Structure 1
Amino acid sequence: MTQFWGVDADPTAQGRIKGARPVAVLDIGSNSVRLVVYERHARALTPLYNEKASCALGRGIAQSGQLAVANIAKALDAMKRFAMVARLMRVGKIHVLATSAVREASNRQEFVSAVEEIMQTPVRVLSGEEEAHFAALGVVAGIPGFSGVVGDLGGGSLEFSAIDSGIDTSGQSFELGVIRLQDDSDGSPAKAAQITREQLKDSIVATVAPGSQFAAIGGTWRSLAKLHQVISKYPLHMVQDYVVPAADMIKVCEEIVSANSLKSYPGASEVSNSRRELVPFGAAVLSEILKAGRFESVVFSALGVREGYLYGMLDPMERAIDPLVQGAEELSILRSRSPAHGNDLIDFTTQYMEAAGLGESASEARLRKVVCLLADIGWRAHPDYRGQQSVDAVAYGSLTGVDHPGRAYLAQTLSVRYDGLKSKWAQSLLPLAGANTAKRAKLIGALFRVAYPMTAAMPGILPRTRFSIRGKHELVLHLPADLAFLNGDHLRNRLGQFANIAGHDTSEVQVD
Structure 2
Amino acid sequence: MQERIAVIDLGSNTTRMIVVGYVPHQTFKLLDEVREAVRLAHGIGADGKLQLIPMNRAIKTMRLFHQMCRGIGVDRIVPVATSAVREASNREEFLARVRDEAGLDFRVLTAAEEAYYGYLGAINTLDMQNGCVIDIGGGSTQVTVVQQRQLAQSISRPIGAVRLTDRFVKSDPMNVRDFKILERAIAAQFADVPWLTQQGGSLGGIGGTIRALAEIDQKLRNHPIDRVHGHRLSADRVNELLELFRSLTVKQREDLPGLSRDRADLILAGTAILAEVMRRGKFSQITISGQGLREGLFFEHFMRGTSPIIPDIRSFSVTNLARMYHYEAVHSAKVRDLALSMFDQLLPMHGYDLWARELLGHAAILHDIGNAVNYYDHHKHGAYLVVNSSMQGFSHREVAILALLVRYHRKGEVSVDHYQQVLFPGDGELVAKMAAILRLAEFLERRKNQVIQDITVEIGKIVRIVTHAAGDTTVEVWDANRAAGLFRKAFGCEVDIV
| TM-score > 0.5 by shorter chain | yes
State the shift of 1:375 in Å. Answer: 0.4
Partner of 2:2: 20
Partner of 1:295, secondary structure, is: coil
Alpha carbons 2:27, 2:320 under 8 Å: kept: no
1:440 equivalenced with 2:430 (yes/no): yes
Distance in 1 (CA, whole Å) between partners of 2:91 and 2:470 is 76
Q: Is the 8 A contact 1:257 1:283 kept in 2?
A: no
Q: Per-residue deviation at 1:458?
A: 2.5
Deviation of 1:258 after TM superposition, in Å, equals: 3.5
Cα distance in 2 between the residues matched to 1:86 and 1:406: 36
Which residue is equivalent to 2:122? 139
**CA 1:360 to 1:155, structure 2 compared with 1: closer, same or farther past 3 Å?**
same
Structure 2 counterpart of 1:112: 95
Q: After TM superposition, list the pairs within 5 Å mapping 1:33-432 onto structure 2.
A: 33-40=15-22, 42=25, 45-117=28-100, 122-188=105-171, 190=179, 191-203=181-193, 206-209=196-199, 211-261=200-250, 263=252, 268-312=256-300, 314=303, 315-316=305-306, 319-336=309-326, 338-357=328-347, 361-381=353-373, 385-422=377-414, 424=415, 427-432=417-422
Cα 1:212–1:474 shift into 2, 3 Å: closer
Distance 2:476 2:424 in 1: 36
Q: 1:317 to 1:152 in 2, by over 3 A?
A: closer
1:483 to 1:29, Cα distance in 2 relative to 1, 3 A:
same
CA contact (8 A) 2:197 2:282 kept: no
Cα distance, 1:343 vs structure 2: 0.7
Structure 2 distance, partners of 1:273, 1:229, is 17
Structure 1 residue ranges without an equivalent (≥5): 1-18
**Aligned residue number for residue 9 of structure 1:** none
How far apart, in 2, do the equivalents of 1:33 and 1:435 lie? 42
In the aligned structure 2, how far is the partner of 1:118 from the partner of 1:462? 65
- Which region of structure 1 is more displaced relative to structure 2, 94-103 or 359-368? 359-368
Q: CA separation of 1:259/1:91 partners in 2, compared to 1, >3 Å: closer, same or farther?
A: same
Partners of 2:84 and 2:277 in 1: how far apart?
22
Letter in 2 for 1:131: E
Of 378-387 and 278-287, deviating more is 378-387
* 1:483 CA drift (Å): 2.4
With over 3 angstroms needed to count, the CA separation of the structure-2 counterparts of 1:262 and 1:324, relative to structure 1, is farther
**Separation (CA, whole Å) in 2 of partners of 1:103 and 1:487:** 65
Alignment partners' CA distance in 1, 2:256 and 2:26: 35
**What is the root-mean-square deviation of aligned Cα atoms in Å?**
2.8
In structure 2, distance between residues paired with 1:281 and 1:430? 33
Is the contact made by 1:492 and 1:508 (CA closer than 8 Å) also made in structure 2? yes
Amino acid at match of 2:316: Q
Distance 1:454 1:215, change over 3 A: closer
Does structure 2 conserve the Cα–Cα contact (< 8 Å) formed by 1:240 and 1:303?
Answer: yes
Distance 1:379 1:47 in 2: 21
The structural deviation recorded for 1:295 is: 1.7
Alpha carbons of structure 1 residues 454 and 360: separation in structure 2 relative to 1, 3 Å: closer
Task: Count the aligned residue pairs.
Answer: 486
Structure 1 position 389, deviation (Å): 2.6
Q: Unaligned 5+ residue runs, structure 2?
A: none
Q: Are the equivalent residues in 2 in contact too, given 1:43–1:322 (CA < 8 A)?
A: no
The percent identity for this pair of structures is 23
Distance in structure 1 (CA, Å) of the matches to 2:58 and 2:307: 37
Comparing 186-195 and 140-149, the one that deviates more: 186-195
Change (3 A) 1:121 1:370: farther
The letter for the 2-side match of 1:207 is T
Q: CA deviation at 1:485?
A: 2.8
Higher alpha-carbon deviation: 324-333 or 365-374:
324-333
Structure 1 residues 241, 386: closer, same or farther in 2, change over 3 A? same
Supply the distance in 2 between the matched residues of 1:481 and 1:217 (Cα, whole angstroms).
52
Distance in 2 (alpha carbons) for counterparts of 1:435 and 1:336: 35
CA shift for structure 1 position 251: 2.3
Deviations 1:431-458 (A, max 9, x none): 4232444433322322333244454462
> How far did residue 380 of structure 1 move?
5.0
Q: 1:335 to 1:133 in 2, by over 3 A?
A: closer
- Farther off after superposition, 349-358 or 112-121: 112-121
The one-letter code sitting in structure 1 at the alignment partner of 2:121 is G
CA contact (8 A) 1:137 1:311 kept: yes
1:73-112 per-position Cα deviation (integer Å, ceiling 9, x unaligned): 2212222222222223332322111100001111211222
- Partner Cα distance (2:278, 2:148) in 1: 22
Shift of 1:119: 6.5
State the TM-score, normalized to the length of structure 2.
0.88
Question: 1:336-370: CA deviations, max 9, x gaps?
Answer: 56232111111111221233246664443332222
Give the TM-score of the pair, scaled to structure 1. 0.86
Query: Would the aligned equivalents of 1:337 and 1:458 in 2 still touch at CA under 8 Å?
Result: no
Determine if contact 1:215/1:299 at 8 Å carries over to the other structure.
Answer: yes
1:74 counterpart SS class: helix
Residues 478 and 385 of structure 1: CA distance in aligned 2, closer, same or farther (over 3 Å) = closer
Whole-angstrom distance in 2 between the partners of 1:354 and 1:186: 59
1:334/1:46 CA distance change after superposition, 3 Å = closer
Seen in structure 2, the aligned counterparts of structure 1 residues 216 and 410 have a Cα distance that, compared at 3 Å, is: same
Which deviations, in whole Å up to 9, do the C-alpha atoms of 1:94-146 show, x marking residues without a partner? 21111000011112112223334566564221122221222122221111324
SS at the partner of 1:142? coil
**Mapping of residues 490-509 of structure 1, within 5 Å:** 490-503=479-492, 505-509=493-497
Out of 230-239 and 175-184, give the one that drifted further.
230-239
